[in-house]
Amino acid sequence: MTSNGTVVEVRGLKKHYPVRQGVFSRVAGSVRAVDGVSFSIARGRTFGLVGESGCGKTTCARAALRLVEPTEGDIFINGTNILSLSGKHLRRARRGFQIIFQDPYASLNPRMTVGAIIGEGLKVHRMASRRERRRRVTELLERVGLSAGAAGRYPHEFSGGQRQRIGIARALALSPAFLVCDEPVSALDVSISAQIINLLKDLQEETQMSYLFISHDLNLVEYICDEVAVMYLGRIVEQAHAEVIYERAMHPYTRALLAANPLPDPEKRREKILLGGAVPNPASPPQGCHFHPRCDAADEACRLQYPKLVEIGGGHLVACHMVDQKSKTSQ
């Protein structure tokens, strides 16, 4: 698997949460937060996951790192199936895959100094002596653009952007091959966000890490990602190279998302697509295509059967009956 440069391969990942009811906590159904997601990321590449709130992006990312236990699926990171690991072996393997979080205020322990936070991973894995650790922390702080003096301070003394840099330094300390960025800039303002994004890009160039980049900001995803997948109610509905998604999106949901995306140029106008209704309750998604109640083009087939994710050429995957028919008729 590593031979062709694939660092991460996720197959059929599912995370279902049981819904319990009544006095005896009978399992009455399940919320399919992530329902059969597959993707792979090559070395030094960035895979983007977009979708609206509650579509399962974060759960997907956390399940891929086994921070929540997946219900089903296989996750290969650096060639090892991390779902087959347990206890000490899993903890040791965690060196290879790290995460940076959305909320820089909640993700740093308020009782620990910045130095202790960044050195935590090295300490846990006994990778460095106390002296070495201090030196590594200084190095990492400078690498993410903070002064070495920050090590003795507490997180509450830093701004959101600085805290996010601390979070990045913590993840970098273990030199992971795979880094999940869970909406790393959505809590930051625009100028700070750009700095963080550029830092992440530079780091990737240096270390050839693979990123799983989660966001709901489509402009950002276009800028940073090589490949993009759009999620709706726990499933990937469209996946393609970043440029392809932006130029030739096929799935009606993707097109609606793109249409809602603000353009930086006020002169530019484009077609508006307004989606009717709201996201259905994930505990009881509509029959057939999950998107059909909000889709203009939906017909009988959409109401009956969930469309398969099929390739329509050039690694462009779409799950839509309409697109499927069109591509068939055109052939």
Point out which residues bind other proteins (CB under 8 A).
62, 65, 67, 90-95, 98-99, 101-103, 106-113, 115, 120-121, 124-125, 134-135, 138-139, 142, 147-149, 151-154, 156-157, 167, 170, 174
- Residue 169 or 309: the one with the smaller Cβ distance to other proteins is 169
Calpha distance 199→78 (Å, rounded): 24
In the complex, minimum distance from the CB of residue 211 to other proteins, in angstroms, rounded to a whole number = 15
Query: In the chain, how long is the greatest CA-to-CA distance?
Result: 68
In the complex, minimum distance from the CB of residue 5 to other proteins, in angstroms, rounded to a whole number = 24
User: Strands of 317-318's sheet, edge to edge?
Assistant: 97-100, 178-182, 210-215, 46-50, 227-232, 235-241, 317-318, 310-311
CB 229 within 8 A of CB 39: yes
- Residue 27 or 274: the one with the smaller Cβ distance to other proteins is 27
In the complex, minimum distance from the CB of residue 315 to other proteins, in angstroms, rounded to a whole number = 30
Q: Which helix (H) or strand (E) holds 172?
A: helix 160-172
E-strand ranges in the chain read 6-21, 26-42, 46-50, 72-77, 80-81, 97-100, 178-182, 210-215, 227-232, 235-241, 310-311, 317-318
In the complex, minimum distance from the CB of residue 128 to other proteins, in angstroms, rounded to a whole number = 14
- Residue 11 or 125: the one with the smaller Cβ distance to other proteins is 125
Calpha distance 227→239 (Å, rounded): 7
In the complex, minimum distance from the CB of residue 295 to other proteins, in angstroms, rounded to a whole number = 35
Calpha distance 98→83 (Å, rounded): 16
- Residue 178 or 232: the one with the smaller Cβ distance to other proteins is 178
- Residue 39 or 178: the one with the smaller Cβ distance to other proteins is 178
In the complex, minimum distance from the CB of residue 48 to other proteins, in angstroms, rounded to a whole number = 20
- Residue 73 or 121: the one with the smaller Cβ distance to other proteins is 121
Q: How many CB atoms lie within 10 A of CB 156?
A: 9
Q: Which helix (H) or strand (E) holds 115?
A: helix 114-124
In the complex, minimum distance from the CB of residue 237 to other proteins, in angstroms, rounded to a whole number = 28
- Residue 134 or 201: the one with the smaller Cβ distance to other proteins is 134
Calpha distance 326→68 (Å, rounded): 39
- Residue 122 or 240: the one with the smaller Cβ distance to other proteins is 122
What are residue 145's phi and psi, to 5 degrees? 90, 25
- Residue 65 or 229: the one with the smaller Cβ distance to other proteins is 65
In the complex, minimum distance from the CB of residue 264 to other proteins, in angstroms, rounded to a whole number = 31
In the complex, minimum distance from the CB of residue 169 to other proteins, in angstroms, rounded to a whole number = 12
CB 63 within 8 A of CB 15: yes
Q: How far is CA 189 from CA 125, 138, 195, 202, in A?
A: 35, 27, 10, 20
Q: Which long-range contacts (CB under 8 A, 24 or more apart) does 65-68 make?
A: 65/94, 65/97, 65/99, 65/180, 66/90, 67/99, 68/15
